[in-house]
Amino acid sequence: MTGNTPGFDTLAVHAGTEPDAATGARQVPIYQSTSYVFRDADHAARLFNLEEVGYIYSRLTNPTVSALANRVTALEGGAGGIACSSGHAAQIMALFPLMAPGCNIVSSSRLYGGTITQFSQTIRRFGWSATFVDTDDLEAVKAAIDENTRALFCETIANPGGYVTDLGAMAKIADEAGIPLIVDNTTATPWLCKPIEHGATLVVHSATKYLTGNGTVTGGIVVDSGQFDWSASDKFPSLSQPEPAYHGLTFHAALGPMAFTFHSIAVGLRDLGMTMNPQGAHYTLMGIETLGLRMERHVKNAQAVAEWLEKDPRVEAVTYAGLPSSPWHERAQRIVPKGAGALFTVAIKGGYDACVRLVDGLKLFSHVANLGDTRSLIIHPASTTHRQLDEEQQVQAGAAPNVVRISIGIEDVADIIADLDQGLAVATA
């Protein structure tokens, strides 16, 4: 603890929770209830008018789910947050108050394949669109922004390649354009990076990954910095103009730094219904208690494995930004100084077929469409998570046909390396 500010690991255990008022239970209870009894008619009316904070219906808020949102908000240094059903849901929830038919976002081209599909295909059904750019080319980012752009989007550490984004440079461009920067911090976690400190407006997470850490539940989080002036222009009428569904309430004028959070609950969760279940929130809260301990081991193991792979003659390239040879190494020292995460890709000599043999030949690694587990995981993106993209898009996303994505777990590093060694022997025989 520094002064009156608790340290990261203290917040990971305690933030957002108190002993249960009714029973004294130390662990956050699972409030498995759809609805909550109002004290009287006036209490109910005040809750529905957003004049008082409380619980109405679990599609909107639930004590267990709220505890999770509050804990991640504290870890990210935000003003408010919401928890929802998945990382993909979190992305839509982040965009929903900002967008309208005809609006667009400018997004990094280095993203998880499912996100690229969501942005390039699915959001078109809402009348939204996305322009993908290489975020290392800052002039291209600026050029892609037009009068209908409502946000910039990127990942701190890009999935699958492990590339590190210059968040400060992106935030500066967003500020100059008068739009928010949305950062997916899933692969870094707030233990490695707090994007709000680099100028991000909104931070999203797939809580399914490192936050939970054990591959048991799906979930998503959106954290708002509370620092964006939604009323500075007419670009964000959902927040800066009267809301018909709340008798003309203007969210930003009435709620200030909490405007985005309350809108996401009162309108977003109310109408989109992307609700997280309380049991899933409970599992994620328990996972977060050990986040700092796990991330330290994840990063230590990943660094050792990447260094070993880079020297192996059966390997063409390793994208880990913790390696001095990486073009993103210097940036990683600034953005993620405690380590470059535990997710990266490896190009295997022998191409597509060798990658498939490697995946099939490993024994300790699990072949799954997930990352951020305590277990070491592997997948061949070109044939799975990025299969829906053409080869050019795969290469741009860091998922070329000759690479595998590995998520390094917390096992003994000697065992991880031994499994890769025997797997590479099979793959390149």
DSSP string, 206-228: ETTTTTT-SS----EEEEE-S--
Q: Are residues 265 and 302 in the same domain?
A: no
How many angstroms separate the CA atoms of 58 and 46, rounded? Answer: 17
Q: Is residue 404 a contact partner of residue 355, using CB atoms and an 8 Å limit?
A: yes
Separation of alpha carbons 162 and 160, rounded Å: 6
pLDDT, residue 3, reads: 58
> Domain span at residue 80?
8-287
Q: Are 94 and 38 in the same domain? A: yes
Residue 391 lies in a domain: yes
Q: 372-398 burial by CB neighbour count: b if 16+ within 10 A, else e?
A: bbbbbbbbbbbebbbeebeeebbbbbb
* Peptide bond connecting 160 to the previous residue in cis, omega within 30 degrees of 0: yes
Angle at 67 between CA 216 and CA 191, to 5 degrees: 70
Q: Enumerate residues 6+ apart whose C-beta is below 8 A from 274.
A: 84, 85, 86, 89, 92, 93, 220, 268
- Please indicate, yes or no, whether residues 296 and 280 belong to a single structural domain of this protein: no
pLDDT tens per residue across all 429 residues of the chain: 445 789 999 999 999 888 888 888 889 999 999 999 999 999 999 998 888 999 999 999 999 999 999 999 999 999 999 999 999 999 999 999 999 999 999 999 998 888 999 999 999 999 999 999 999 999 999 999 999 999 999 999 999 889 999 999 999 999 999 999 999 999 999 999 999 999 999 999 999 999 999 999 999 999 999 999 999 999 999 999 999 888 889 999 999 999 999 999 999 999 999 999 999 999 999 999 999 999 999 999 999 999 999 999 999 999 999 999 999 999 999 999 999 999 999 999 999 999 999 999 999 999 998 999 999 999 998 888 777 777 888 777 778 889 999 999 999 999 999 999 999 999 998
- Together in a domain, 266 and 279: yes
Whole-number Cα distances in Å, 256 to 229, 230, 247:
9, 9, 18
Q: How far is CA 352 from CA 345, 380, 416, in A?
A: 13, 9, 22
- CA dist 285 and 318 (Å) reads 33
Residue 3 falls within a domain, yes or no?
A: no
CATH of the domain at 388: 3.90.1150.10
In angstroms, the CA 277 to CA 280 distance is: 5
Boundary-marking domain end, from 253, 271, 287: 287
- Which residues, 6+ apart, have CB-to-CB distance to 233 below 8 Å? 178
- CATH number of the CATH domain containing 86: 3.40.640.10
Indicate the residue among 246, 270, 287 that finishes a domain: 287
- Please tell me the distance from the alpha carbon of residue 338 to that of residue 194, in angstroms, as a whole number: 12
Residues 277 and 295 in one domain: no
Q: Of 263, 287, 311, which residue is a domain's last?
A: 287
In this structure, the answer to whether residues 267 and 297 fall within a common structural domain is no
Residue 387 lies in a domain: yes
Residue 350 in domain: yes
Count of structural domains, the chain: 2
pLDDT score for 1: 45
For residues 365 and 201, give the distance between their C-alpha atoms in angstroms, rounded to a whole number.
Answer: 36
Evaluate whether 287 touches 213 at the Cβ level (below 8 Å).
yes
340 and 255 both lie in a single domain: no
Residue 309 three-state SS: helix
Query: What residues are paired with 181 via a beta bridge?
Result: 152
The first and second tokens of residue 259, run together, are 């405007």
278, 298: one domain: no
Question: 207 and 81 in one domain?
Answer: yes
CB 376 within 8 A of CB 364: yes
The rounded distance, in Å, linking the Cα atoms of 5 and 245 is 39
Please check whether residue 227 lies inside any domain of the structure: yes
179 falls within a domain: yes
Q: What's the chain's Rg over C-alpha atoms?
A: 22
Instruction: Give the pLDDT confidence score for residue 388 in this predicted structure.
Output: 74
Please indicate, yes or no, whether residues 192 and 318 belong to a single structural domain of this protein. Answer: no
Q: Residue 2 falls within a domain, yes or no?
A: no
Closest by Cα among 376, 375, 380, 373 to 405: 380
Residues 32 and 170 both lie in one domain? yes
Same domain, 280 and 303: no
Is the Cβ–Cβ distance between 158 and 110 less than 8 Å?
Answer: yes
- DSSP bridge partners of 378: 367, 406
In a domain, 140, yes or no: yes
Task: Give the model's pLDDT for residue 385.
Answer: 73
All residues at 6 or more sequence positions from 125 whose CB lies less than 8 Å from its CB, including other chains: none
